[in-house]
């Protein structure tokens, strides 16, 4: 569904992304992992058409993602790291706005809004303003806003930052529902347990490059024998693999 | 609902959902304009009297008649007092000026009328330097009353004979006059003496009230404003000025709002949608212009309904000026968003720029009180065109043609602002 090939992006002399390629199939959740400054946000920006790559291509179902008004952007939903809601508009009004921006016609928008609210469990709060919501409710509405136009690909940039375990669990349930509906999801996170629970495959990037890709098991198998033994001795989690691959130095 | 309409609608709903913003941009200008309007003229009314003091150190018949004449003059609100009190009143700003009639004025002034080289008595006019414009008015009216009363004293039988006799003696003894001049002057005195004698003989009861010189003309005041039936309304200027100022403040909030959207990730979210840059920025211009137009309409509705401001000129011109200013405000906001780095810094600089714009545009004080060079320079300030245009369409009562230049100037500046904003706008997050 989503295919990115050889993406490059520099800001002045600094290379943010250097030749990243990745793929997300329909009904698949791909985890995009990397330490701070690894190039995750720049990659997501290029995947959704916000940031034009210096080189490389992004395509959805074979259609290249082009400029600002590119029609293929209607097939992409973006959940930003920030809670990007108009807090003084009602929950349904936020969804109606984003639906209109993606060209959803008025006759089906109402149903889409109801469906999106139902998916994230906010039907009872349709008229309430997000300013009155808890952090978890805002995060769920944030996801709903990216779904209201029924995209084929959903890009999620750390969508669970600052939410309680109950809300996080509800969000995971929502995402698994979407996977079951055949959506392709790219999930960026710092929480390795989230990636372990949700992601079918993981792409680990560092210094703007893909350093490993595969399932948790295949990543473990990719490690040299000595490193694999150390990781397994610890606990054999994805976090151990991640730390082994990206190092333990602080990234600020 | 298409994307552009949805974005514009969203901005309008959000703006008017913010009660504080509405309070600041609608209620505040009405209150402040009401204050300035009341101070600078208020509703149509007769000119107020000028508070003036007079000190009569002479206490002669002539000086008393001058004081009486000034008291009867409706231009003055006259207070008769002593010199120390007069100085105090001027210093405290309770009177605009004080005239001090010196001792001996009643004797010296009539003589000075006929003797060019005679020492003239001096009336001191103490004045408030902050009210210097009143000085010329007080001096002019004082001259009228003094001339009338002094000439009356010179020609009246009771006091004039003594004065003329004294002057006659001086003329007869003067070595500086040739025979012909002396003869002509003595002949003039004879004629005056004859007139005084006849006045006493024919109307002895009126001899003391003989008229002196009087002004050889009368004046009739007529205000020239848009409507002959109505006088100038000071609120017309104050509402134009404060309306312009606070609507520009709204423009600042629009620009800062965009910077806040960027900080909150909302701008990124909007940009992720399949929308052209023209749609995104155009919607901000359109929504800003609509909001500014609504605020403009609300402010002028209050001005018309409560403060008696009238559109005596072209209604179409008035609306056109309002819309052009609304577009100017909107593009000004976009410029702030394009040039500003952070919401906080942008707001501070934009408020300073706005205050300069409204000050130089004549929002606080009318531009006609500016020095001429400043009046010439400020034609490049777009707010001046807004205020001039609004005044032309309200109390000046001018036609649609008078709105053309202000509208064209504001639209030209709007185009410039929009062009700079689109060139400088940072699209990368």
Nearest to A82 among B13, B264, B279 (CB): B264
Give, for A57, the enclosing helix (H) or strand (E). strand A55-60
Q: pLDDT tens digits for B412-422? A: 999 999 999 99
- Residue ranges of alpha helices (H) inside A125-237 are 135-147, 165-180, 192-198, 216-222, 225-234
Please give the Cα distance from B343 to B337 (Å, whole number): 8
Identify whether B29 is part of a domain: yes
Q: Is A25 on the interface with B (CB under 8 A)?
A: no
**Nearest Cα residue in chain A from B428:** A51
Co-location of B55 and B35 in the same domain: no
Average pLDDT, chain B: 86
- Using the beta-carbon criterion (under 8 Å), do B429 and A97 form an inter-chain contact? no
Average pLDDT over residues B406-411: 97
**Which of B244, B241, B243, B251 minimizes the C-alpha distance to B346?**
B251
pLDDT at B101 over 90: yes
Residue that is last in its domain, among B209, B226, B246 = B209
Identify whether the C-beta of residue B106 lies closer than 8 Å to the C-beta of residue B58: yes
| Chain B residues within an 8 Å CB radius of A83 | 264-265
Map tokens 């200013």 to a residue: B325
| Chain A residues within an 8 Å CB radius of B265 | 80-84
Beta bridge partner(s), residue B125: B99
| Band (A251; pLDDT cuts 50, 70, 90) | low
What is the residue range of B129's domain?
A: 50-209
**Confidence (pLDDT) at A13:** 85
Identify whether B395 is part of a domain: yes
Identify whether B188 is part of a domain: yes
Return the sign of the alpha-carbon dihedral for residues B324, B326, B331, B332. Answer: positive
Q: Is A78 on the interface with B (CB under 8 A)?
A: yes
- Using the beta-carbon criterion (under 8 Å), do B272 and A81 form an inter-chain contact? no
Identify whether B149 is part of a domain: yes
Identify whether B429 is part of a domain: no
Co-location of B399 and B263 in the same domain: yes
**Confidence (pLDDT) at B368:** 79
The per-residue b/e assignment along B62-86, b for 16 or more CB within 10 angstroms, e otherwise, is: bbebbbebbeebeebebbebeeeeb
Please give the Cα distance from B341 to A204 (Å, whole number): 34
Task: Select the residue from B5, B274, B428 to test the A interface by mutation, using most A Cβ atoms within 10 A.
Answer: B274
DSSP-derived 3-state class of residue B225:
coil
DSSP-derived 3-state class of residue B171:
helix
CATH number at residue B152: 3.40.190.10
Identify whether B216 is part of a domain: no
Co-location of B318 and B397 in the same domain: yes
Residue B164 CA, chain-centre distance (Å), reads 48
In terms of average pLDDT, the best of A7-16, B44-53, B186-195 is: A7-16
Q: How far is A219 from chain B (nearest CA, A)?
A: 32
**Confidence (pLDDT) at B223:** 61
Structure-block tokens of residue B9:
């609608």
**Nearest Cα residue in chain A from B10:** A97
- The superfamily CATH assigns to domain A2-246 is P-loop containing nucleotide triphosphate hydrolases (3.40.50.300)
Average pLDDT, chain A: 88
Identify whether the C-beta of residue B323 lies closer than 8 Å to the C-beta of residue B289: yes
Please give the Cα distance from A84 to A210 (Å, whole number): 28
Identify whether B276 is part of a domain: yes
Counting Cβ atoms within 10 Å, is residue A166 exposed (0-12), middle (13-18) or buried (19+)? Answer: exposed
Radius of gyration of chain B (CA): 33
Co-location of B321 and B362 in the same domain: yes
**Confidence (pLDDT) at A231:** 65
- Residue A54 CB partners (closer than 8 Å, separation 6+): A8, A9, A10
DSSP-derived 3-state class of residue A207:
coil
**Confidence (pLDDT) at B228:** 56
Q: Is B377 on the interface with A (CB under 8 A)?
A: no
Q: Is A26 on the interface with B (CB under 8 A)?
A: no
Q: Is A87 on the interface with B (CB under 8 A)?
A: no
**Nearest Cα residue in chain A from B17:** A88
Q: Which of residues 270-289 of B touch A (CB under 8 A)?
A: 270-277, 279-280
Q: How far is A76 from chain B (nearest CA, A)?
A: 9
**Confidence (pLDDT) at A98:** 95
Please give the Cα distance from B356 to B255 (Å, whole number): 18
**Nearest Cα residue in chain B from A87:** B14
Average pLDDT over residues B308-328: 95
**Nearest Cα residue in chain B from A84:** B266
> Per the structure, how many domains does chain B have?
2
Q: How far is B11 from chain A (nearest CA, A)?
A: 10
Average pLDDT over residues B306-327: 95
Co-location of B12 and B73 in the same domain: no
Average pLDDT over residues A197-209: 90
Co-location of B321 and B415 in the same domain: yes
Co-location of B278 and B410 in the same domain: yes
DSSP state of B49: P
Give, for B106, the enclosing helix (H) or strand (E). helix B105-114
Structure-block tokens of residue B203:
């109307």
**Nearest Cα residue in chain A from B261:** A84
| Band (B207; pLDDT cuts 50, 70, 90) | very low
Average pLDDT over residues B232-247: 90
Cβ pairs A/B, distance under 8 A:
82
| Chain A residues within an 8 Å CB radius of B276 | 68-69
| Band (B212; pLDDT cuts 50, 70, 90) | low
Please give the Cα distance from B420 to B429 (Å, whole number): 19
**Which of A165, A143, A173 minimizes the C-alpha distance to A78?**
A143
- Using the beta-carbon criterion (under 8 Å), do B429 and A86 form an inter-chain contact? no
Average pLDDT over residues B102-119: 79
Map tokens 């010199």 to a residue: B83
- Residue B429 CB partners (closer than 8 Å, separation 6+): A45, A50, A51, B262, B267, B268, B271
Q: pLDDT tens digits for A85-122? A: 999 999 999 999 999 999 999 889 999 999 999 989 99
- Residue A12 CB partners (closer than 8 Å, separation 6+): none
| Chain B residues within an 8 Å CB radius of A80 | 265, 268-269
Q: How far is B8 from chain A (nearest CA, A)?
A: 10
**Confidence (pLDDT) at B47:** 58
Q: Is A127 on the interface with B (CB under 8 A)?
A: no
- Using the beta-carbon criterion (under 8 Å), do A68 and B265 form an inter-chain contact? no
In terms of average pLDDT, the best of A59-73, A225-239, B344-358 is: B344-358
- Using the beta-carbon criterion (under 8 Å), do A69 and B265 form an inter-chain contact? no
Identify whether the C-beta of residue A72 lies closer than 8 Å to the C-beta of residue A60: yes
- Using the beta-carbon criterion (under 8 Å), do A74 and B7 form an inter-chain contact? no
Task: Select the residue from A69, A94, A99 to test the B interface by mutation, using most B Cβ atoms within 10 A.
Answer: A69
pLDDT, greater one: B192 or A94: A94
Q: Which of residues 18-77 of B touch A (CB under 8 A)?
A: 18
């Amino acid at each position: 569904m989503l295919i990115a090939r050889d993406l490059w992006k520099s800001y002045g002399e600094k290379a943010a992304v250097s030749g990243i390629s990745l793929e997300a199939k329909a009904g698949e959740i791909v985890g995009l992992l990397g330490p701070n400054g690894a190039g995750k946000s720049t990659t997501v920006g290029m995947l959704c058409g916000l940031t034009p790559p210096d080189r490389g291509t992004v395509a959805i179902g074979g259609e290249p993602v082009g400029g600002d008004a590119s029609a293929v952007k209607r097939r992409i939903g973006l959940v930003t790291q920030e809670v990007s809601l108009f807090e003084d508009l009602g929950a349904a009004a936020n969804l109606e706005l984003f639906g209109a921006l993606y060209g959803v016609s008025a006759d089906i928008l109402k149903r889409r809004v109801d469906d999106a609210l139902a998916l994230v469990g906010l039907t009872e709060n349709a008229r309430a303003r997000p300013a009155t919501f808890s952090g978890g409710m805002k995060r769920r509405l944030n996801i709903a806003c990216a779904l209201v136009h029924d995209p084929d690909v959903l890009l999620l940039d750390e969508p669970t930052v600052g939410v309680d375990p109950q809300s996080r669990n509800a969000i995971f349930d929502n995402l698994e529902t979407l996977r079951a509906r055949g959506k392709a999801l790219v999930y960026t996170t710092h929480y390795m347990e989230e990636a372990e629970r949700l992601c079918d495959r993981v792409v680990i990037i560092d210094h703007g490059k893909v350093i490993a890709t595969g399932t948790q098991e295949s990543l473990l198998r990719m490690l040299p024998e000595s490193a694999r033994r150390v990781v397994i001795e610890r606990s054999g989690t994805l976090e151990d693999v991640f730390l082994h691959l990206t190092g333990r130095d602080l990234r600020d | 609902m298409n994307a552009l309409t949805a974005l514009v609608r969203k901005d309008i709903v959000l703006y008017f959902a913010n009660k504080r913003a509405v309070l600041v941009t609608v209620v505040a200008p009405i209150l402040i304009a009401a204050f300035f309007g009341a101070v600078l003229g208020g509703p149509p009314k007769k000119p107020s009297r000028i508070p003036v003091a007079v000190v009569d150190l002479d206490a002669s018949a002539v000086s008393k008649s001058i004081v009486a004449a000034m008291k009867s003059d409706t231009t003055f609100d006259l207070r008769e007092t002593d010199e120390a009190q007069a100085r105090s009143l001027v210093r405290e700003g309770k009177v605009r000026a004080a005239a001090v009639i010196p001792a001996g004025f009643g004797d010296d002034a009539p003589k000075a009328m006929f003797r060019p080289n005679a020492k003239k008595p001096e009336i001191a006019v103490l004045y408030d330097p902050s009210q210097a414009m009143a000085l010329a008015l007080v001096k002019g009216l004082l001259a009228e009353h003094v001339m009338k009363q002094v000439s009356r004293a010179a020609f009246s039988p009771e006091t004039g004979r003594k004065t003329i006799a004294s002057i006659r003696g001086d003329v007869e003894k003067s070595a500086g006059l040739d025979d012909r001049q002396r003869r002509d002057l003595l002949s003039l005195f004879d004629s005056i003496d004859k007139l005084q004698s006849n006045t006493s003989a024919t109307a002895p009861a009126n001899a003391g009230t003989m008229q002196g010189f009087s002004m050889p003309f009368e004046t009739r005041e007529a205000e020239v404003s848009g409507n002959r039936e109505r006088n100038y309304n000071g609120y017309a200027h104050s509402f134009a000025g404060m309306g312009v100022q606070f609507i520009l403040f709204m423009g600042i909030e629009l620009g800062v709002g965009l910077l806040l959207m960027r900080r909150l990730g909302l701008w990124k979210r909007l940009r992720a949608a399949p929308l052209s840059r023209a749609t995104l920025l155009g919607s901000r211009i359109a929504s800003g212009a609509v909001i500014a137009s609504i605020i403009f309409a609300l402010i002028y509705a209050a001005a018309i309904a409560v403060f008696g401001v009238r559109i005596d000129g072209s209604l179409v011109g008035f609306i056109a000026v309002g819309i052009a200013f609304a577009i100017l405000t909107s593009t000004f906001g976009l410029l702030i968003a394009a040039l500003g780095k952070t919401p906080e810094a942008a707001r501070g600089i934009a408020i300073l720029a706005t205050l300069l714009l409204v000050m130089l545009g004549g929002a606080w004080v009318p531009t006609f009180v500016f020095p001429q060079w400043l009046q010439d320079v400020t034609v490049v300030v777009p707010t001046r065109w807004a205020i001039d245009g609004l005044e032309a369409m309200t109390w000046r009562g001018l036609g649609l043609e008078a709105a053309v230049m202000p509208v064209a100037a504001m639209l030209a500046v709007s185009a410039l602002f929009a062009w700079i904003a689109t060139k400088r706008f940072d699209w990368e997050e």
